Amino acid sequence: MSKGTGGTLSVMWQGITRSPSGFTGMCLVAAILIFVFGGRFLVDHHNPTDADAIWKPMSGAHWLGTNFEGKDTFTKLVLGGAEPIWVGALAAVVTVIIAVVLGALAGYLRGRFDDLVLQLTDITMTMPFITVLIIIASYFREISPWMVGLIIGLLTWPFLTRSIRAQVLSLKEREFIEAAQLQNLGTMRIVFVDILPNMAGYIFINFIIAVTNAIYAIVGLYLLGLLPSTAENWGLMIQQAWQNSAYLLPRALPFLLAPLAMIALFQVGLVLMTRSLEQALNPRLRDR
């Protein structure tokens, strides 16, 4: 019988809160989200350039010192976190939506539609993700972050699609699905109301993984200097710090290390949450 989305969410919450590592990961992610999206209301968005304050050390006026333009590093750190996070979330949403719809319908309908979806996944999986992304970013120099997120999502759905399809192939043989078919409830009703809620935890875990991969991708593009430098971004901070040899100047190190630390902590938090969710939702892992 279908467990339902509500029961799955309850298990997920218990899995995170009862696991020390999962709870730590959730607190890390929540703290960084509050720092990034709440801190925006507390800092000066203008953050003016000051030629007399270039590479100033940490002080009461500048908690993390200043950068090569004399701008406050702490302010740039706060403002630079929003873009990689929401672009990562956008890419993950696109990936999950495509994978869930195509994978679920392919696994349930089979036949020609299944063959078409499998061919599409094969074609997309043969394209080198990073190489394609670099080529697109290099060609469209003024590409927007929204478009980057969309492109990442459109390139990363095949693996999850195949996994969703495999699980649907298994679930469609269950008794409660056979009962729904005998009642002629319709394909869409059976797939999206009866089958997919049983996969809610698995889908959410893969959403978190997709967010993690997308953040790495967009930060990497900024680090390579392939995206416009008009917006605040942790990846851009790292690239600017490297270009201006911040690693050679001790008082300039916060401008390089702070965004690296934020990215690492956010990813660690997501990974810890994912591992706890896997343990909570997988009976074999739960009993260990």
Q: What does the DSSP 8-state code read for residue 252?
A: G
Q: What is the pLDDT along the chain (288 residues), one digit of tens a residue?
A: 445 556 667 777 777 888 888 899 999 999 999 999 999 999 988 888 888 889 999 998 899 999 999 999 999 999 999 999 999 999 999 999 999 999 999 999 999 999 999 999 999 888 887 788 888 877 776 778 888 889 899 989 999 999 999 999 988 888 888 888 888 888 899 888 888 888 888 898 899 999 998 998 888 888 887 777 767 889 999 999 999 989 899 999 999 999 999 999 999 999 898 888 877 766 554 444
d(CA 270, CA 273) in angstroms, rounded, equals 5
d(CA 81, CA 26) in angstroms, rounded, equals 17
d(CA 102, CA 123) in angstroms, rounded, equals 15
d(CA 128, CA 130) in angstroms, rounded, equals 6
Cβ–Cβ under 8 Å, residues 133 and 221? yes
pTM of the model: 0.86
Residue from 161, 274, 147 nearest 218 by CA:
147
Residue showing tokens 């349930």:
108
CA distances from 227 to 120, 146, 183, 193, 244 (A): 28, 12, 53, 41, 18
Residue 3 DSSP SS3 = coil
By the 10 Å C-beta count (0-12 exposed, 13-18 middle, 19+ buried), 214 is classed as buried
